[in-house]
Amino acid sequence: MSRLSWYYWFRPRTMPLSPTFLYIFLGILAALLILAVWFFIKYRQGGRFKRVFSDLHYFAVTNLIIGLALFFFRFEGTIFMTARYWLVLWFLGMGFWLHMIWREFRVLSSKGGRDEGIETYLKYLPRKKIK
């Protein structure tokens, strides 16, 4: 069976997990877990790119949950959810999400400081008077 055929990608029932694919899939899930913890720590430290680290943390946690669901369905052999195109859609979604985060990172890195809009907004907020 060719990997370029429609039947290979859209067949609702696939073969059981091979050991190589199992280790690769678990490695991706472990990497997402480690990255989620690391991005959360970087987010809590604050700084200029706090929003980017928050987005990356949500990216890693969400894709970890989706990956665990796909792994569970593949392991159990659920008919519709084991189709290979779910993995392709998952990786395409991850790529699009990372692209959007990269665009936000480029915007934040080019600004260099705080927004003018934030400073305009903050001047109307009440503050304590320092004597």
User: What is the per-residue pLDDT across 28-48, written as a single tens digit (0 to 9) for each?
Assistant: 999 999 999 999 999 999 888
The position carrying tokens 């927004």 is 115
Euclidean distance between the first and the last CA atom of the chain, given in angstroms as a whole number: 80
21 against 1, higher pLDDT: 21
Rounded to 5 degrees, φ, ψ at 10 are -110, 15
Residues ≥6 apart with Cβ < 8 Å to 107? none
For 100-127, write each residue's pLDDT tens digit. Answer: 999 988 888 876 655 666 777 777 878 7
Could you state, in order of their start, the residue ranges of all structural domains in the chain? Answer: 14-122
Round the CA-based radius of gyration of the chain to a whole number and report it.
Answer: 21
What is the number of helices (H) and of strands (E) in the chain?
Answer: 5, 0
The distance of Cα 117 from the centroid of its chain, to the nearest Å, equals 29
Cβ–Cβ < 8 Å for 99, 91: no
Q: Helix, strand, or coil here: 48? A: coil
**For residue 116, what are the contacts with CB-CB under 8 A and spacing of at least 6?**
none
Q: Which of 64-68, 92-96, 98-102, 108-112 has the lowest mean pLDDT?
A: 108-112
